[in-house]
Each structure stands twice: as C-alpha cells, then as structure tokens.
Structure 1
Amino acid sequence: MSAEPALNYARQIATSNKSRAAIFAGAKSVIAEVGNYQSNISDIALRSQVSKATIYNQFADKAEMVECLVESEVLRLTAAALAAPSRQAALEILSISISQDLALRRLVETDPTDVAKLVSITDHPTWLLVHQSIAKIFGADSAACGLILRWLIGQIASPITQEESLAQSKRLATSLFN
C-alpha cells in the first residue's frame, strides 16, 4: 500500500487543526468586542480569515463552536500550567490568564446569564474536563482542587491585577502545598 493516502490524511488533519486554531482566535477576538450573542459566523469567519463553509465543516453551529472554544481554552491553560516550574507559578499563570482574558471580560458585561451557567459546577463534560485538569496540575486532593477552582472562578466575574495574581497565588500555594 502506498504511503500517499496516509500523507494526504496527515495534511488534512494539519490543515483542519490550523483552521480550527484560526477560528478559535477569530471567535475570541469577535467575542471580546461584542459578546457572544452579538457575534456571528460571518464576522468570525472574516476575523479568522476562513470561509463560513470552513467553520461549518468544523462545527454544526455557533453553539458547538463556542463549546469547543471553551474546551480548547481549558486544554491550552492546562498545558501552560503543567509547563510551569512550580505549583505557585501554575496558579499565577491560570489567574493571570483568566483575569486578563478580554473575551471573558466582555461576556461578563454582555452575557451574564451565560457566565452564570459557565461558572456553575455541573456534570457537563466541559466541567469534568476542568476538574480533571485541575487535578492533573495540582494533584488529586479534592479539597485543594475545589479551593483552587473556586478561586479561579471568582476571577471570571471579578478579575484581579497581575500583582494581585502573584500575591494571591503565593499565599494559596503556601497554604495548600507547604
């Protein structure tokens, strides 16, 4: 069997991943400007520099795209935290990332009902991913993970400065991990 079909498949996957990353970046940018409800696939496609067809080839609709965007952000933040040199640095990275996220800031302003749903801990698969990610980063101690998760959730509605992120992450790491 020729290696050509496998190579073509690998190229399709790479193109799909690049398109998906562009779509997510474009969606975050549009949401940061107008919120989720005011955003639309046409604006996201334009900002992403892909066609609407490319978006619909990746996602059934905007709701699925946004849900996949949230999952992608959880995975991105998890990777960044896992690469941190310490648990305290991981806490700081997560805190700054959440507190400085412009799309989250706009959602708090324009879509408070959705933000309330987003921060309500449920058995939704995305929440399970969040819990698994926190446990992977900080260990399986459920009390510590719960405290960390609540601290981070609080920063969605009430963001803190980078200086506050540093100070609070130091205090939290000292109380949880020393």
Structure 2
Amino acid sequence: MEVVVLPRQGGKTTKLLAFAAERFAYIVCPTKARASQLWEEIQRQGLDVPQPITWDAFVHARYVGRGIKSFAIDDVDLCIQSMTRFDIVGVTLSGNPDGVREFSPAPAPAPAPESESELTPPDDYLLAPAAGVCTGCGRSTYSRDEVGQACGMTQPGGDTCVGMFVDATEFARMKLLGAIAEAQIRGDNP
C-alpha cells in the first residue's frame, strides 16, 4: 500500500489518480459529490479508471464489477471521520515505511480525553448492529441514546449535518419501502 500525505490542495488526488490508472483501481471517495467530481476529472483526462464509489458504498460492499482487485481511497481521513462525531486523533498503518511518499508537517497534538470511557469502546462495539442512522448524512450510531437527536457532524465541505438519528431498523424498512414504490412506478415487478 502506498500512502501519500500532503496538505489540503497539495496534489494528493492527482497522485491517487496516477495510482488508480496504473492498477485499474476503484477510487473510494468520502462523498457522492466528490466521487462525481473525480469522475469528471477522470473523463477529462481520458484515464482508464473505473467510476469512483463512495465510502458508504465501499464499507457496505455496494459495488459491482468483474475483476475488482484493488481500491485507492481518497481523503481517507474524511472517510473515517464520517463514521463518528468524535474527533479521530490518530491512526496507525501497517506496512513498509518506504510506501509513504511524502509527509506533511505534524499537526498540533489533540487535547486529552476528558474521561477514560472516551478511550475505550465497549467490548461488543464492533459486533453490535447500528442503533440509528442519520437522515441527513447517513452516518450510523451505535448508541441508543443518540436516536432522536440531531447529528451535527461536520461534513467534508465544512457544513454541519442537520439530519436526525432515527432507529436503524425503521430506516432500513423505509428505504426498502421506497425502493419497492420506485420499482412499481417504473413498472418493474419487485
């Protein structure tokens, strides 16, 4: 895995497009708008790269294609941050440090957490199903206490999400009913 670390507007995406073109890798973007922007750039440059997908589609394996062998993730920090309303203060990567192409200056250290519980997720955190889903940005929450609350997550463009967390099961049921209604309108037999 190759890692490129540069400041915003420093050419990371240009390098990522080159990686993707060399390897015919699917590009994963933090948002649908960003995936559309990259697709336009790919077409403008005439690159042989599959159409980019969103982080949400990647995480939930909602992509299709014969011969998918690799992915290149654009703005992985924004992708990961979209999964929680709490600050991500650091990450680790396994691999050969020679894969890191460029470094940005180290950011200022993050403030220490206010309590030990902020550091330690519950033991079943990764196995638990989502309790709720934001109606605005689609982010999941694993806390029942957040269902019915405003999301307030800062989005990649800098705007604040105005969606509300709703029960995940109810959200899935409503999406299914919506998909059935759309199919009936089109004349498909769901």
- Please report the TM-score for the alignment, with normalisation by the length of structure 1: 0.26
Find the structure with the greater CA-based Rg: 2
**What TM-score results when the alignment is normalised by the length of structure 2?**
0.25
